[in-house]
Amino acid sequence: MNPVYFARRVGHAVLVVFIVSLIAFQLGEVIGDPVTAILGLDAPASAREALREQMGLDQPWPVRYLAFIGDALQGEFGMSYRAQRPVADIIVERIPATVELAISALILSLWIGIPLGVVAAIWRESCWASALMTGSVVGVSLPTFVVGIMLIFVFSVQLGMLPSFGRGQTVAIGAWQTGLLTASGLAALIMPAISLAISQVALVARLVRAEMLEVLRMDYIRFARARGIRDRVVHFRHALRNTLLPIITVSGIQIGYLIAFAVVVEQVFQWPGLGTMFLAALTESDIPVITAFLMLIACLFAGINLIVDMLYALADPRVRLAEG
């Protein structure tokens, strides 16, 4: 691979992360004052000043920012003001919950979305296909928390089948706490995963349908039909396979999206992941946690984009040439 191209992409990613870190660093102060959040309204001014000084908050922000970046590069994210614990510890213990939720939602959305898209493409004239596509618009437009609360009231309150909150029992695999190996963990995962997947299902279905329609118009499909190959084989062996490539690319980006936007679902189901952590930090101006979370998400997106760019470059020489 062209090293110049590689360097430029990496440079891009670093720039994005840098800009996000600047914004994230300001955010906590835009919405509140950490000293007020910690001490409450009733602290005397002297205690406030003392704490401000002790925490270094009296320094101008560029100084604090540089100190923060210096520490962050060494893997030190400081202490959460609110939880009084190292931010790194909190994030490490919260990552598994969010990742498991996001991946489950992704699998669910592909598992439901791909067949729907195929059906809609193959029988595109039928009323079922248009009903599916209309339904998918509804799926996209339903707010996630509404879906979540509806699910809770049906499956927890009315039917008593699924737990309304939490993650069930978890099992440790090294440092990773997984909920995938216990019955209660799986039961707890069902509704959050569905809520998170539901808007994605529509997206996947629409993408598959569009790609599939494109592919079905290709010459090799026509030739395949002309050779007398059965429809089933044409649809699933020839057409769908060629449709899947862009789907896989999109899925990679989706996973980043799902991790970042699991916030709402996590809040509704009290899912002990990064999202609930982030929302609690926002209400308390817990700058170290807010910053670390946003940086993590920025790195995730930048990383995924970088990988996708690299893969494209490997797969398609024209990308390399165009970018020089």
Partner 1 sequence: MPKSHSLILAGLALTTVLAQGAFAENLRYAGATAPLTFDPHATNDFVTTAIARQTYESLIELNAKSQLVPGLATQWEYIDNAAWRLTLREGVTFHDGTPMTAEDVSFSIMRQASSPRYKSLFGQITEANVVDATTVDIVTAQPDAVMPVKLSLLFVMSKAWAEANDVVEVPDLGAASSESYSLRHANGTGPMKLELQVPGERTVFVRNDDWWDDFTGNVDRAEYVAITSAPTRLAALLSGEVDLITDVPLQDVVRVEETAGFKVADGPQRLYMGLEMDGTRDVALASFDKNGQPLDSNPFKDVRVRRAIALAIDNEAIVSRVMRGYARPISMPAAPGFQGYAEDLEKDLGVDLEESKRLLAEAGYPDGFRTTLNCPLERYVNTEEICRASASLLARVGIEVTVNGMVWPEFARMLVNGPDSSFHLIGALGNSGDVQDVFGAILHTRDDESGLGQQNWAMWSNTDFDAVFEKLVSTFDPDERAALYREGLRIAQEQQHAIYLHQPFLIWAMADKVDASVRADSAVVLSDVTVGTE
Q: What residues line the site for partner 1 (CB under 8 A)?
A: 31-33, 36-48, 50-51, 54-56, 76, 79, 81-86, 89-90, 145, 149, 152-153, 156-157, 160-172, 177, 182-184, 187-188, 267-270, 272, 276-277, 279-280, 283-285
**Which residue, 217, 221, 243, is CA-closest to 230?**
221
Eight-state DSSP code of residue 153: I
Least distance in angstroms from the C-beta of 38 to partner 1: 7
Least distance in angstroms from the C-beta of 59 to partner 1: 12
Alpha-carbon distance of 159 to 127, in angstroms, equals 33
Q: Alpha helix (H) ranges present in the chain?
A: 3-31, 34-39, 45-54, 61-73, 87-122, 127-141, 144-151, 183-216, 219-226, 231-233, 241-260, 263-269, 274-283, 287-315, 317-323
161 vs 315, which CB is nearer to partner 1?
Answer: 161
254 vs 267, which CB is nearer to partner 1?
Answer: 267
- Based on the number of CB atoms within 10 Å of its own CB, is 178 exposed (0-12), middle (13-18) or buried (19 or more)? middle
Q: Alpha helix (H) ranges present in 152-286?
A: 183-216, 219-226, 231-233, 241-260, 263-269, 274-283
Least distance in angstroms from the C-beta of 107 to partner 1: 22
25 vs 301, which CB is nearer to partner 1?
Answer: 25
5 vs 278, which CB is nearer to partner 1?
Answer: 278
Least distance in angstroms from the C-beta of 20 to partner 1: 21
17 vs 39, which CB is nearer to partner 1?
Answer: 39
Q: How many CB atoms lie within 10 A of CB 277?
A: 27
294 vs 313, which CB is nearer to partner 1?
Answer: 294
Least distance in angstroms from the C-beta of 196 to partner 1: 15
